[in-house]
Structure 1
Amino acid sequence: MSTATTTTFVPVDPDADAALLHAWVTHPRSVYWQMQDATVEDVRTEYARIAADPHHRAFLGHVDGRPALLAEVYDPAHSELAGVYDVLPGDRGMHVLVAPTDTPVHGFTDRAFAAVMRLVLDDPAVARVVVEPDVRNAGIALKNAKAGFVVDRAVELGVKRAALSFCTREQFAASPLGGDL
């Protein structure tokens, strides 16, 4: 069986994608998205807010033509990270959610995560990717490390204690997920 996949990204359409995203963000495996009790309307409203924000973008990732992941890309200087660390020119924040499934495919999450990193790093102005996952999220901690992220420190962000982490282009390229940029 081939593991080759084609991943494409399109901006989230809050109206058209709300029901699909609702199923993903309220799934028990998505607890760290902090939307467990959200309604479809709550999800539509949140992604409409993101769509209207010039410093935050959300993308629906399609793998081989099927929706399979959600990626958010944001400017940390215009986020809850502003004032938490010294934001550098070229910093870009990222969130990733791989769609929950009952039939996991070996290596799929690695390929999806790498595709999102490439999406972010396709912008030549980006020098470093910033993530701030909940410190209790062991799964994403492993995935971040595999992509070359280095934890800087734990920080308090609203309702979570987050592992503020950074990954440069060079760190990603040298990582098991990076390969050729």
Structure 2
Amino acid sequence: MPFYTASQPLAAPRWRTLQADEGDCRLSLALEGRPLISVRLAAGEPLVVHLEQLCPERPEQALWAACYWLLSRDPACQRLAWRLPQAVPQAVASGLLLPGAQPGEYLCERTLFWQLPQPWLGQLPAGVYPQQMQLSNGKRHPRRAPKPRGEVYRRFDVRLGAWVSLRTLEVDQDLERFNRWQNNPRVLQFWQEGGTLAQHREYLEKLDADPHTLTLIGCFDDQPFAYFEAYWAKEDRIAPFYPADDYDRGIHMLVGEEAHRGPHKVASWLSALVHYLFLDDPRTQRVVAEPRADNGKMIGYMHDQCFHCEKEFDFPHKRAALMILGRERFFDRCKLA
């Protein structure tokens, strides 16, 4: 299974291979042929994990890798009960492990595990951007952090057997692709943004200069297939239609490549997109969307990912469904693998 790690905390991340030897209630993991961790497993609820060997140079990473492997192979598993001969303070401080009732007992909760920002995010988090309220077009909202550039999220989807990643859109690199996608009759039916290269350059450059919207390209195995807009709801046109919180994020979604349509692909990229937005700022408590109310297929896909339809309402240009997914609901019912 592919695995993400950095050789040093501040080093550029590199992709490596995590290998497993599993059988007879035992699991051993190696990173590029180097032993990382060995555990003994005892079936039950929760699954009990007895530590036998641990790489002394990177103990927290070794524990993380074992948690990742065990939670990814079984999406129904909600927690792991670790038995450790001695504490690993970094794992407790990060939230990877929770102290149990007895000495040497620790829990790994799926709900907490998938909220850890690394290794999914493309950049090491620099901390929460400080809050300062400001007015934009009559709307009071927090000042937004500078927008990232490059790859912002990457995860290996075990069920697809493929990497799903998100990178920021670069106008010169992606303009022709965006133009082709927007002029696709299927996309045009719902987006209504068909036009020339010049019109689409103007559209994308305007969004690039807008601090409340982040334009993203979705990729499977580094091949672009989709365009997403992630926006801060408080200063967006959606804000008057529901009580938007300061850090709610909204999404617009477009799958441009026909080969990457279908419910199994939507489950992968939609969960990745929402996961990224919740990790990007821990203050984000809701992700919202406003697809056309007659786009039953997309609304159905969103229901499958635990969104609920709050109501229907009228924009000037469409009848929309207000779809909402809360942070607690997303991680409590986490389908990531």
TM-score, structure 1 as length reference: 0.89
Query: Structure 2: where are the runs of 5+ without partners?
Result: 1-158
Find runs of 4+ consecutive structure 1 residues off by over 3 angstroms.
102-106
CA–CA separation in structure 2 for the residues paired with 1:103 and 1:151: 25
Query: Structure 1: where are the runs of 5+ without partners?
Result: none
> Which one-letter code corresponds to 2:335 in the other structure?
G
- CA drift of 1:81 comes to 1.1
Task: Look up the match of 2:321.
Answer: 163
CA–CA separation in structure 2 for the residues paired with 1:32 and 1:105: 17
CA–CA separation in structure 2 for the residues paired with 1:140 and 1:56: 21
Task: Look up the match of 2:335.
Answer: 179
Task: Look up the match of 2:172.
Answer: 15
- CA drift of 1:142 comes to 0.5
> Which one-letter code corresponds to 2:303 in the other structure?
A
> Which one-letter code corresponds to 1:179 in the other structure?
K
Q: Secondary structure at the match of 2:241?
A: coil
- CA drift of 1:48 comes to 0.9
Task: Look up the match of 1:82.
Answer: 239
2:271/2:336 contact within 8 Å kept? no
- CA drift of 1:100 comes to 3.1
Task: Look up the match of 1:118.
Answer: 275
Inter-CA distance 93–41: structure 2 relative to 1 (3 Å threshold): same
Q: Sequence identity, in percent?
A: 25
- Greater Cα shift, 8-17 or 99-108: 99-108
CA–CA separation in structure 1 for the residues paired with 2:317 and 2:227: 21
Task: Look up the match of 1:139.
Answer: 297
> Which one-letter code corresponds to 2:298 in the other structure?
I
When Rg is computed on C-alpha atoms for both structures, the one with the higher figure is: 2
Task: Confirm whether residue 153 of structure 1 aligns to residue 317 of structure 2.
Answer: no
1:26 to 183, 191, 205: 183
Higher strand share: 2
Q: Secondary structure at the match of 1:88?
A: coil
- CA drift of 1:9 comes to 1.6
The CA deviation string for residues 117-140 of structure 1, in whole angstroms up to 9 with x for no partner, is 112122212110010010010111
> Which one-letter code corresponds to 2:174 in the other structure?
D
Higher RCO, 1 vs 2 (CA within 8 Å, ≥6 residues apart): 1
Task: Look up the match of 1:40.
Answer: 197
> Which one-letter code corresponds to 2:274 in the other structure?
M
CA–CA separation in structure 2 for the residues paired with 1:68 and 1:22: 13
Task: Confirm whether residue 94 of structure 1 aligns to residue 94 of structure 2.
Answer: no
- CA drift of 1:103 comes to 7.1
- CA drift of 1:151 comes to 0.9
CA–CA separation in structure 2 for the residues paired with 1:53 and 1:34: 21
2:263/2:301 contact within 8 Å kept? no
